[in-house]
Amino acid sequence: MSARDGGRERYVPVFTADSARRKELDDVLSRYPTKMAALLPALWMIQHEHGWVSEDGMAEVAQVLELTPAYVKGVVTFYTMYHQHPVGTHFIQVCTTSPCNVCGAEAVVDAFLKHTGCQELGQTSPDGKYTVIEVECLGACGFATPIMINEDFIESVTPETVPDVLAGLK
């Protein structure tokens, strides 16, 4: 949701006075005692609109919530759920914690890298559709290997089932 500006992406604000996201933020703010308490939901709104949280997005949130840009950046860099750079349409997280590794998580990672065309972890595929990363513990050790694709959780993924998982994406 950016506009081209001389070869650079120009940031398009999310919380303009009449926008649906501003109304959503105002609703969230009505449920919290302080503006600071709405920081995480506001960052989610930025990420849902732009696909990631840029420096401009952090600055917009800081201004709207009357926080310093440094405070907002500190929160964004602390939580791994916020993307600090553009990612593919399908953001794939593969659990590679010890129990999952014992059950073949590395082979699942390799299968995702192969079938998506991503060259390395953290890189986006040439078609812009996929980004694959490793994460620590998705909380399903009994169903190795768990993955998340965007906000969808899938258990018991094997290298053999990776093509079917990818085929099921829209």
Q: How far apart are CA 146 and CA 143, in angstroms?
A: 6
To the nearest whole percent, how much of the chain has pLDDT over 70? Answer: 95
Q: What is the rounded distance in angstroms from the CA atom of residue 4 to the CA atom of residue 164?
A: 36
Domains belonging to the chain, first-starting first, are 3-78 (1.10.10.1590), 90-167 (3.40.30.10)
Give residue 8's pLDDT: 55
pLDDT for res 68: 97
The C-alpha atoms of residue 156 and residue 140 are separated, in whole angstroms, by 9
Q: Is the pLDDT of residue 135 over 50?
A: yes
Amino acid at 170: K
* pLDDT tens digit sequence for 87-115: 999 999 999 999 999 999 999 999 999 99
pLDDT at position 141: 86
